[in-house]
Structure 1
Amino acid sequence: MNRFRYFIKALITVIVTFSLTAALYFFVTKEYARETKENVVTLKKNTLKYTVNNFVTAIRIRDRDIRKVHPNYTKKQIQKIQKKALRDYIHHAKFNFGSYIWINEIHNFNGGNRYAKRLIHPELPKTEGQWLSTNTKDVKGQKPYQMELSGVKKHTSFFYSYYFKDNHHPQATPKLTYAYLYKDYNWIICMGVSLNDIHTYVERIRKTSDKYAFTGIAFIELLITLFFAFSYHFDRKKQRQYFAKKEERLQTQIDYDYLTKAYTRNYGEKYLSSLLSRHISQCAVFMIDIDDFKLVNDHLGHKAGDEVLIQVVEKIKSVIRFSDVLFRYGGDEFVCIIEHVDADHAKDIALKMKKSVHTIAIEQEVTVSIGLTMIKETDQHTKDIINRADQALYQSKSQGKDRISAL
């Protein structure tokens, strides 16, 4: 159940993260496309304005040069020379972004039909010399010539846009135009560029960014998935460690007596049973009882009695090996199991136990009686060994206590 909840939580997080990342990506892409379009339009505007202004400057310089060479020429004569030179230049010039220059000559600043003539137009050369009307509309219903005339009358130069069909685009496309009124000849010098390529350019950038963005999103999702996989693994590891420690503490509570820290009777009897099943020879079992322990509790109190139990265990442990087993059999009785010793060695150990207990310093002398037995090949059950050790202990008690008896 916990795994299922963890999986659902991880799945929801991945979905939410993916959705937010995708939403953020599409928002950023949209903003990037908008900024890209604005930047391209700005670049084209600057190109148109810079080119037309330089073109107008060149016309003025050429006017001055013609007057110097031909001081008697009239304005119309100079204008005629300019027309021929400009027509040749405009029809053969190549500009950035497929842009081009054209010139309209105004005859009526009030507009209307026949308000101007198309003087030069490289994209529509057959229409040069035709009259123009401010009532002409593009495919969107706009009046580009009216916008052009009104703009130059008010600002001399300005930008405007409309839809136009030229030789490069079979269908009408949006066109950005910069118009400049050259008042000396009543010419409107224009330069225009199609905006149709902006959409293509932005779309190409968007597709490229899509490729990298989706790769990035997939990479992010992979990282999230790996993170949750690692987190799940780490969490499971922590859980296993937690439960292992908890089990270890629980096992300690089961195996060790909470007061004396000796093993419990359950642990001791299981250990003794395992020795029988393995047919261990030369193994001594000691039944140890604290003499007159009831008097300690009665005279000194149960707290002192608990302290005696603790110290007796500590004294016995100081005599035996770390691998030997000492467990609390019940009340003030303990059993000690020592492997790989013979009967004589076992008696020496019992004597050391008894002497060690004598060193416990309280108001009342503390002694122990010990019953000793060796595991025999004829022993079938742990109770056979315990009963024999208990009988030996009874002998020690009946003979005056603080003694060692062996059976």
Structure 2
Amino acid sequence: MKSNLRLMGPVVIAVNCGLLVLFFLSFNARVGAVHGRNAREAVVHLQNRFLKATVENQIDRIETCRMEERARWNRRADQAAAALSAWSDLDEERALAIFKGLFHGDLWTAVLREVETGRVLFRAGVFSDEPFGEGDEGAFAVGRRQRFGPYEAFFGVTAEALDGRVQAFIADEIHRSTFPFDSYLWVNEVLDYGGGDGYAVRRIHPNLPETEGMLLSTSMEDVRGNLPYLAELEGVREKGELFFSYFFKKKNSDTISEKLAYAKLYRPYNWIVAFGIHLDDMEAFTKQTTEESRHVAARLGLLFLSLLVGLLVSSQALLLLGERRFHRKDRRLLEAEVNEDALTGACSRRAAERDLAGEFEAFRRGAGAPAVMLFDVDRFKAVNDGYGHDGGDIVLRGIVETLRGTLRQTDSVYRWGGDEFLLLCRGLRPENVPSLARELLRSLAAVRRPVGGASLSVTVSMGIACFRADDDSFADAVRRADEGLYRAKKEGGNRAVVNDDDPAESS
């Protein structure tokens, strides 16, 4: 009897330990499943936001470049018109020499005629047989008609020519862009919204640059028999945008896997701008976070076995708390990738729009108006032309580093697009805005950066505005700041313009 009782103790202990082990294994599997599901849901949600934000930022960039190109050529046309107006009494030879000198180059279209006889003295570019007939200017994004002396001239640049320059610039920019997980932007140009063979042309594709210019068909299938081009066309045709998935080759690899993509139509160019991420790349990230959670659960499980049932409940609570902490950390890391500009370390444009909207709502509730400072680098194209885009990148990163050493902790710097930045200065008194602007101009101009074996310094032009009571949104203040930036550029650069006030020049 005593022998049986002695044997029963170890048996009970063994059974209890076995039950605890089974309970732990079951509990650990459940925690892993819950964490994996939550991690996947969070990743998919942030992934969709990342895809959409990237495409919308690129479309904003295209529109900005398009408007800037038109503004640049309008300024050149105004300068040419001013030059012609200064000559009122010229012979034919001198008039031709001046006219040809002003309108040389591939983009200009120009016609010069003698008013009295109607005789055309000079013609270059795209024009009808009746250069001064009604409706000729319709194809021109920039155009001027002007009399000087006994002559009449028309000169301008077609929308097709300007859009071609912008499209070539954007194609180069997309090819040089880098994103996490070897993802990339691509562009298909729609030729026929009815679909079918040759409905579109592959315009920009960093993964398959050798296929750019290839005609696409809505009947083209992926390896699973899906019709991704048909789905893409129907989505943008009905709603202008869509999320969709299909199977495609990975970048720098022959591996084909499922890809989640977001596409949106940019109607002025009939461009479908798209961005995608392969799901197995994100799945590997999700799996890693799940495995980390399981390792934590295993370590805590050893504690459960040693402290028996009394400590099991509290240990379970600690485990769940630890799981949530890891989940929140992963979520913050993913959100940081969306809100930070990868090149300069400044905040992204999406973050700027979010913060500006929040500040504007606070302003409507009675808070003070922050200063919105919009600036870009003077003659930045010359930097890129002289030192390459790597040199331009060094300059942009240096600007952000300099600003962070100059601004207050309450101020924020955002990359608005290209070489354009936005500063949000909270709690700044209006009378102190010009002095801060001058200090920023001096600080940025004083720093010399090693670029391509040379020591390079740059200046910036800045436009500044504050929220006003009659503003409908923060966009009104940004627009005024942009107008101030344009004035600063027009007046020679290296200066700041506060709304419509006189510029505050750098010392």
TM-score scaled by structure 1? Answer: 0.52
* TM superposition outliers: structure 1 runs of 4+ over 4 Å: none
Gaps of 5+ in 1: 228-407
Among candidates 228, 244, 247, match of residue 163 of structure 1: 247
Q: Which residue of 1 aligns with 2:42?
A: 39
Q: Which residue of 2 aligns with 1:293?
A: none
**CA drift at 1:132:** 0.6
Deviations 1:331-360 (A, max 9, x none): xxxxxxxxxxxxxxxxxxxxxxxxxxxxxx
Native 8 Å contact 1:14 1:225 kept in 2: no
| Percent identity between the two aligned chains | 31
Among candidates 261, 265, 269, match of residue 177 of structure 1: 261
Among candidates 175, 185, 190, match of residue 101 of structure 1: 185
CA distance in structure 1 between the aligned counterparts of 2:35 and 2:164, rounded to whole angstroms: 49
Residue 121 of structure 1 pairs with residue 124 of structure 2: no
Native 8 Å contact 2:69 2:166 kept in 1: no
**CA drift at 1:150:** 1.2
CA distance in structure 1 between the aligned counterparts of 2:63 and 2:51, rounded to whole angstroms: 18
> Letter of the aligned partner of 1:218 in structure 2?
L
CA distance in structure 1 between the aligned counterparts of 2:236 and 2:35, rounded to whole angstroms: 34
**1:226/1:159 CA distance change after superposition, 3 Å:** closer
CA distance in structure 2 between the aligned counterparts of 1:96 and 1:80, rounded to whole angstroms: 29
**CA drift at 1:20:** 2.1
Q: Which residue of 1 aligns with 2:160?
A: 76
**CA drift at 1:59:** 1.5
Q: 1:239-278 residue pairs with structure 2 within 5 A? A: none
Deviations 1:49-80 (A, max 9, x none): 11211211121122222223331333322321
Q: 1:7-406 residue pairs with structure 2 within 5 A? A: 7-70=10-73, 71-72=142-143, 73-224=157-308
Among candidates 3, 7, 13, match of residue 6 of structure 2: 3
**CA drift at 1:212:** 2.5
Native 8 Å contact 2:186 2:206 kept in 1: yes
> Letter of the aligned partner of 1:11 in structure 2?
A
Native 8 Å contact 2:35 2:293 kept in 1: no
> Letter of the aligned partner of 1:125 in structure 2?
P
**CA drift at 1:180:** 0.6
CA distance in structure 2 between the aligned counterparts of 1:69 and 1:117, rounded to whole angstroms: 29
**CA drift at 1:225:** 9.5
**CA drift at 1:226:** 11
Deviations 1:83-114 (A, max 9, x none): 21011101111123322111100011121211
> Letter of the aligned partner of 2:271 in structure 1?
W
**CA drift at 1:155:** 1.7
CA distance in structure 1 between the aligned counterparts of 2:192 and 2:34, rounded to whole angstroms: 45
CA distance in structure 1 between the aligned counterparts of 2:247 and 2:306, rounded to whole angstroms: 48
**CA drift at 1:126:** 0.5
Q: Which residue of 2 aligns with 1:356?
A: none
Larger radius of gyration: 1
CA distance in structure 1 between the aligned counterparts of 2:61 and 2:310, rounded to whole angstroms: 67
Native 8 Å contact 1:115 1:131 kept in 2: yes
CA distance in structure 2 between the aligned counterparts of 1:19 and 1:146, rounded to whole angstroms: 52
**CA drift at 1:152:** 1.1
**CA drift at 1:26:** 0.7
**1:12/1:81 CA distance change after superposition, 3 Å:** same
CA distance in structure 2 between the aligned counterparts of 1:107 and 1:37, rounded to whole angstroms: 38
Q: 2:296 aligns to what SS in structure 1?
A: helix
Deviations 1:281-324 (A, max 9, x none): xxxxxxxxxxxxxxxxxxxxxxxxxxxxxxxxxxxxxxxxxxxx
Q: Which residue of 2 aligns with 1:289?
A: none
CA distance in structure 2 between the aligned counterparts of 1:204 and 1:107, rounded to whole angstroms: 44
Q: 2:195 aligns to what SS in structure 1?
A: coil
TM-score scaled by structure 2? Answer: 0.42
**1:97/1:166 CA distance change after superposition, 3 Å:** closer
> Letter of the aligned partner of 1:10 in structure 2?
I
Q: 2:188 aligns to what SS in structure 1?
A: strand
CA distance in structure 1 between the aligned counterparts of 2:28 and 2:62, rounded to whole angstroms: 50
> Letter of the aligned partner of 1:114 in structure 2?
G
> Letter of the aligned partner of 2:14 in structure 1?
L
CA distance in structure 2 between the aligned counterparts of 1:107 and 1:211, rounded to whole angstroms: 54
**CA drift at 1:3:** 3.2
CA distance in structure 1 between the aligned counterparts of 2:163 and 2:276, rounded to whole angstroms: 23
Q: 1:47 aligns to what SS in structure 2?
A: helix
CA distance in structure 2 between the aligned counterparts of 1:20 and 1:197, rounded to whole angstroms: 33
> Letter of the aligned partner of 2:70 in structure 1?
R
> Letter of the aligned partner of 1:51 in structure 2?
T
> Letter of the aligned partner of 1:52 in structure 2?
V
Q: 1:25 aligns to what SS in structure 2?
A: helix
Which is worse superposed, 94-103 or 202-211?
202-211
**CA drift at 1:46:** 1.6
Aligned residues: 227
**1:226/1:3 CA distance change after superposition, 3 Å:** farther
Gaps of 5+ in 2: 74-141, 144-156, 312-507
CA distance in structure 1 between the aligned counterparts of 2:63 and 2:184, rounded to whole angstroms: 20
Q: 2:269 aligns to what SS in structure 1?
A: coil
**CA drift at 1:158:** 1.9
Native 8 Å contact 2:184 2:275 kept in 1: yes
Q: 1:97 aligns to what SS in structure 2?
A: helix
Deviations 1:173-199 (A, max 9, x none): 121211010111111011112222222
CA distance in structure 2 between the aligned counterparts of 1:193 and 1:225, rounded to whole angstroms: 46
User: Superposition RMSD on alpha carbons, in Å?
Assistant: 2.1
